[in-house]
Structure 1
Amino acid sequence: MTESDHQLAARLATEAGELLLGVRAELADADAKERKAAGDKRSHDFLMAALAAERPGDAVLSEEGADDRIRLTSDRVWIVDPLDGTREFSELGREDWAVHVALWVRNGDHGELVAGAVALPAQGVTPATPDVAPPPPAPATPRVVVSRTRPPEVALAVRDALGGTLVEMGSAGAKVAAVVQGLADVYVHAGGQYEWDSAAPVAVARAAGLFTSRIDGSPLRYNQSDVLLPDLIVCRPELADAVLAVTTR
């Protein structure tokens, strides 16, 4: 039986993650720059070859590849980040890095994310559509997940407004997965990301019943001419109004 798009996204993200674990082991004695470069290239090459074989009629947008503009007239576009969190990947022992595989399908003027998977190879899990368990009940004190360096001011403002605490973590995929897994409650980012940074994580978050939007409350749009998508919110739905009250003021 032919794999569904959901199954394919999950399998390819997982297999790319296993490849990256092999790269990490192989280059354990190399410097971090070499590990980063090898991880990015080998995972990208694997995903591009696999998608060309499994879905030859689809377009692909990858962080590590040239932007083939044919995607703008395609009905199906895979949006992939072969290695999200290269710094964390290069630091042996860190688990907060990911592989993103998402599928966008044209639907009217904008199109929608219809499948996605976020492999967390060092954790041995791959949350993937269509069935993602909702997070467990929230704690009394909301947890706002932020980057280890330079957390955006808007995230700090949300933390203060909610009376919450900060959880520091690496890649965008790992941060969104932390909300899905119930390890954090809010992820607010501003200051620069691209479609591949959030497409698969947003697809997974939506499947788990989480709220997603731009920080001004507008919808997240993918397969756009300009692939810059600099801000987003992913949070528990019951916190969405309180978060938006901060980010839209």
Structure 2
Amino acid sequence: MNATSIGPLVFANDRLHAVIALAAVLIVLELGGRRRPALAGALHRWGWLLLVSWIVAARLGSVLVNRAVFAVDPLSALAVWQGGFEPIAGFVGVGLVGLAALLKRPEMLRPLALAVVMAFSAHTAAGWIFPTEAQGSLPQVALTDLGGAPVRLAETGERPVVVNLWASWCPPCRREMPMMMELAEAQDDVVLRFANQGETAAAVGRYLDQEALSGEHVVLDQTQLLMEHFGLLGLPSTLFFDAEGNLAAAHTGEISRAELINRMQALQEPE
């Protein structure tokens, strides 16, 4: 769907794009340092500073844009593995650090410029090879609640629906679950379902009891139909469907409060 497995690792494609761009920068700077040994140390230092400046500035930009959400849990701003970056803010940070580098060492202009161009090219190519677009629709399948009663995911009262695929043995699933259930219980405009993958009702019930979580929005997918239907590679995965049941977006890995709220708001906006 929107993720790629490399050995035992599963990367969301948008993050894989960033990893490929990072690799391109490091390769270009390494080759530049070998061709110009006198600049090797400076290229490595400033190259890493450029990368760190993009991450920090882009993350700060996202936190500022979503400051009301991060105010609820300020420490979540440090959870960069959840995603949430503002590219324009990142480019501003890179521009400022790059300017400082060139003022100090003007001879680095060519290798640094080449590294930036190669990073952009690699990121663009990765977007073609590993697309992030979500395709599909809410399947007409009947899962069960914790009591064994059938639950049809497609019966949402013409409301958007968010389906989170999870398991109790999955650490990132456990981390995001309390926040997601809090949002599920706080609003009625979007239906949230938590589709447990492959576990028994007893095992799920024990986990919910231990964590003092409600089972109201939990459904059981013991044969992992949803993972197979959408070609998902890892847990947690969160699927966003519009009111017509069309898949609008998918998120692989732990999701942040800001990302979840923004995605749900987007589902409710008129096209």
What is the TM-score normalised by the length of structure 1?
0.26
Structure with the bigger percentage of helix: 2
Higher RCO (CA < 8 A, seq sep 6+): 2
Q: Tell me which structure has the larger Cα radius of gyration.
A: 2
Structure with the bigger percentage of strand: 1
